[in-house]
Structure formats: structure tokens, C-alpha cells
Amino acid sequence: MVYNANPVSQAPESNKIVEGLKREDMFVVAAEHFITDTAAYADIILPATMAAEMDDMVLSWGHFYLTYNQRAIEPPGEAVSNTEIFRRLAKTMGFDDPQFERSDQEMIEHYLDWDSPALADVDMAYFREHGYVHLKVGTPDTRAPHAQGNFPTPSGKCEFKASGAANGNFVAPPFRQMYEAFQGGEPIDPLPDYVPPRESMASNPQLGQRFPLNIVSPKSHGFLNSCYANEANKIRGQGEQFVLINPSDAMARGIEHGVAVRVFNERGEFQANAEVTDDTQPGVVVSTLGYWRSKNAGGGAVNVISSDEFVNMGHAPTFSDNLVEVALAG
């Protein structure tokens, strides 16, 4: 079941994802707005509601506002929210846990901690009338939650030597959507230190001889992860899939500005338009993510070359720890 995700675009070693989705013994259901690169492999596609067609509560992200997303129109056709899909599945499959009985409105009200000082004197009626609330946590000028310490560490202090690392690997739950499973538990250095890339000329010279360029894959300005990458006006603004390459690296490979190139390693390859520029240093190429491989020449995108190896802390991915080579396409 795939929802709120497009792993064929976003997951590392995405060729493996495609091979998995093509398995005869894999039954795939996707809840989607469009036939994304992932939904294209689904046996069943369920129509999901868009933001204006559903009720939701939107977390603050870099600001102090909590926003009530009140639907503006009824969902068209057979479209329903993901939560309604799961309610129907639960009923069909005989699950009677209380959470499967809650409506979207009830889930929103259950989700919020109404006793929190940040929501003092606020109730659901306030959200329905005003649409949002400024959390009572101070302003950007006055907020100082750690003026007296009170850090969420065993000592209550800001620790340069992390006492929480004594029991092995850890990562702050807020950065995992409060999800704490699948932690590796490997011992880590309690002091800040430099960890060299797994794939680099210095750490892996044998691999570097074959694939001498490090690739960095930041987000695209025109897309939201992989959202909107199927819209013509967004593609025009963002431009076709490109790779930034330093003039010295381009000259050594006979690559001129604007030509089509292959970016590849043992995991896969994708095509891009070369942008020869001093914006990236020698030995480093840059290609942004979010593009749909079905929209790209050659049928690939940047994450076909990404490693699925974990970093040394928190089982995070290594999207920018990858060696590649770049050559003229065709």
C-alpha cells in the first residue's frame, strides 16, 4: 500500500524499487492524485482527496502557527481521504480498534494536546472560526525556551559530549516523525567528530578510479519533493533534468554546456543536460531530485545512482555520499 509517497522517484537505488514493484507475487495498491512513477506499477489505484477536499491539521514547520485545513469542496467522484480508505479497509478486514472508528474530525481533536500551555484558551471552535492559532510559545524576538537550560538531555544541559550516546545509536524523535523503531544501536562517538564519506577518492580509491565524481542531489526549487514534477508549467520553471559540472571536469570529458550526458555508476544511470559552471567545484557534480523518470530522457532520475547504505547514526540515508562518472549520452 503506497500513499503520501513516490518511492520510485525519492527512494535510493530506485531501480531496485522498480524491480520489486514488478514482481509477480507483489500486489500493489496506491492512493494517488496522479499516475506517478510509483502508481504506474500499482494493480489498483484509489483516488485520494486533495488538500481542498479534506479536513486536516497542518503542523507548524519553522514557524509558530498551527493551521486548520478545512475542506472547501466535497471530494469529486469516489475520492476519499487516506484515513477513510484505512477505515474502510479496517472494517472489511474485521479490525475493531477504536482508532479505526474515529472520523477525520475526531482524529484531529484527538491528535491535539488541548492541555498544553501552547494551546491555552483555544478549542476546536476557535480553529473553525479563525483557521489557525499562534501557539503560545513566545515570539521570534522573545522565545528563549532554554534560557535556564532545560534541554531534553539526561543532564538537562546542552551537551557537547552526548551522555545519551552511552547506550548506542540515537536520533531525536522529532526528526523521525516521533518514530523510534529501526534504530541500529551501533556505538557512536559521544563527541562531535568528522566521519569521512563512504564513497570518495580518499576513502575508496579503487571505486574512485572508475567513478571519480562525487554527486550532491539537493531538492529542486520548482518541485515539492516529487510533487508538481508532472506539471508542464513547473517543469518549464525548474527546467529539464540537469547536472552542474565544473569546467575542468567538463573539458576533461569533452562535455560542452547544454549537451545531453549520462550520469552513472554500478547502481544505474540517468540522462541530464550538462550545465558547465563554476557554481560547483572540481570533482563534484550536482543534480536535483524530484524529477519523474517517466518524464525524463532515458527513463531515469537521480536516485537510480543513490546508495541504500545507512549513515553511521540513526539509519539515515546517504543520498549525497555517492560516486559517479559523467559521459556524453549516446
pLDDT at 226 > cutoff 90? yes
CB-side neighbour CA atoms (13 Å) of 169: 14
* C-alpha distances out from residue 101 to 1, 14, 232, 252, 256, Å: 20, 36, 40, 63, 60
292: confidence class by pLDDT, cuts 50, 70, 90? very high
**pLDDT at residue number 312:** 77
Strand partners, 264: 269, 325
pLDDT at 186 > cutoff 80? no
**pLDDT at residue number 175:** 55
The Cα 188–Cα 168 span in angstroms is 6
Where are the strands (E) in the chain, listed by range?
2-3, 29-32, 44-47, 56-58, 65-69, 132-134, 213-216, 242-245, 260-265, 268-276, 284-286, 307-310, 317-318, 322-328
Strand partners, 133: 66
Query: Is the domain of 7 the same as that of 107?
Result: yes
Residue 122, domain member (yes or no): no
- Alpha-carbon torsion (288, 289, 293, 295), positive or negative: negative
- Alpha-carbon torsion (274, 276, 277, 278), positive or negative: positive
Helix (H) or strand (E) segment spanning residue 107: helix 104-111
C-beta separation of 183 from 169 below 8 A: yes
Q: Is 55 left (phi over 0), alpha (psi -120 to 50) or beta?
A: beta
Query: Is the domain of 290 the same as that of 247?
Result: yes
pLDDT at 61 > cutoff 90? no
Lowest mean pLDDT across 9-18, 190-199, 226-235: 190-199
Look-up: residue for cell 500493489?
Answer: 28
Cα angle value 123/127/133 (rounded, 5°): 95
pLDDT at 182 > cutoff 60? yes
C-beta separation of 125 from 152 below 8 A: no
Residue 139, domain member (yes or no): no
Strand partners, 18: none
Lowest mean pLDDT across 34-38, 56-60, 238-242, 290-294: 56-60
Task: Give the CATH number, domain containing residue 211.
Answer: 2.40.40.20
Query: Is the domain of 78 the same as that of 98?
Result: yes
**pLDDT at residue number 180:** 66
Query: Is the domain of 211 the same as that of 315?
Result: yes
Strand partners, 224: 227
Which of 143-147, 197-201, 265-269: highest mean pLDDT?
265-269
* β-strands 317-318, 260-265 pairing: unpaired
Average pLDDT over residues 94-108: 92
Three-state SS for 169?
A: coil
State the helix-helix crossing angle for 104-111 and 82-93, rounded to 10 degrees: 110
Query: Is the domain of 6 the same as that of 46?
Result: yes
The Cα 33–Cα 131 span in angstroms is 25
Q: Which amino acid is at 72?
A: A
Residue 93, domain member (yes or no): yes
Share of the chain above pLDDT 90, in %: 73
The pTM of the full predicted model, rounded to 2 decimals, is: 0.88
Residue 127, domain member (yes or no): no
pLDDT in tens, 265-285: 999 999 999 999 999 999 999
The Cα 311–Cα 308 span in angstroms is 10
Query: Is the domain of 171 the same as that of 257?
Result: no
Query: Is the domain of 222 the same as that of 172?
Result: no
Average pLDDT over residues 43-64: 92
Residue 151, domain member (yes or no): yes
Query: Is the domain of 188 the same as that of 224?
Result: no
The Cα 265–Cα 5 span in angstroms is 25
pLDDT at 178 > cutoff 70? no
Q: How many other CB atoms are found less than 10 A from the CB of residue 225?
A: 14
pLDDT at 169 > cutoff 60? no
Residue 51, domain member (yes or no): yes
Average pLDDT over residues 94-117: 91
Average pLDDT over residues 237-255: 97
179: confidence class by pLDDT, cuts 50, 70, 90? low
Query: Is the domain of 254 the same as that of 283?
Result: yes
The Cα 182–Cα 249 span in angstroms is 40
Residue 124, domain member (yes or no): no
**pLDDT at residue number 71:** 93
**pLDDT at residue number 167:** 67
In 3D space, the residue among 72, 71, 60 whose CA is nearest the CA of residue 112 turns out to be: 60
Residue scoring higher pLDDT (181 or 235): 235
Count the domains in the chain: 3
Query: Is the domain of 322 the same as that of 214?
Result: yes
Residue scoring higher pLDDT (137 or 211): 211
Look-up: residue for cell 522565545?
Answer: 143
Burial of 112 (0-12, 13-18, 19+ CB in 10 A): middle
Domain span holding position 16: 2-59+70-114
Query: Is the domain of 178 the same as that of 270?
Result: no
Query: Is the domain of 286 the same as that of 323?
Result: yes
Q: How far apart are the first and last CA of the chain?
A: 37
